[in-house]
Amino acid sequence: MKKFLSALLITVSAIAFAQQTEKDNKCDLPKNYQEPQPDKKIQSWLKRGDATIEDLRKHIAVENDCTEKDVIFLRISEQKGNGMYSVCVAGKPMKYKRMGTVFMGANENPFDTANSGK
């Protein structure tokens, strides 16, 4: 009986955590949404290497074939050497990262040489 209850508890909790609603997959922002403001000191330091928030906005717009107005920052977490960014691109949530002055998708590996021949 204990094994059954344990298995039932694990199954129910796994199903509860695995479910996602439609709202989690869309960028439903209020009309008066204001983007988070990046740290000015870090941005001025990153300006030297063309790695500011506005440079990332341009990068995302070109990569996703949309305008810069379609790129809305949801969360900004950065330091001088790296950064993580959650964005809404034309209604689709995405994540990007910065390593030094290089931007890439959050799931991309810059050291993966097996896929470099594409």
Percent of the chain at pLDDT exceeding 90:
45
pLDDT value of position 23? 47
Q: How far apart are CA 59 and CA 109, in angstroms?
A: 17
Q: Classify residue 102 by its DSSP letter.
A: E
Within 10 A of 74 (CB to CB), how many other CB atoms are there? Answer: 16
pLDDT at 3 over 50: yes
**pLDDT (tens digit, 9 = 90+) per residue, 8-64?**
667 666 666 665 444 455 788 888 999 999 999 999 999 888 889 999 999 999 999
pLDDT at 1 over 70: yes
Q: Classify residue 23 by its DSSP letter.
A: G
**What would you report as the CA-atom Rg of the chain, rounded to the nearest whole angstrom?**
19
What pTM, to 2 d.p., does this model score?
A: 0.69
Instruction: Classify strands 71-78 and 102-105 as parallel, antiparallel or unpaired.
Output: unpaired
Confidence band for 116, pLDDT divided at 50, 70 and 90: low
Within 10 A of 39 (CB to CB), how many other CB atoms are there? Answer: 13
Tell which wins on pLDDT, 81 or 16.
81
Exposed/middle/buried for 64, CB within 10 Å: 0-12, 13-18, 19+? middle
pLDDT at 77 over 90: yes
pLDDT at 4 over 80: no
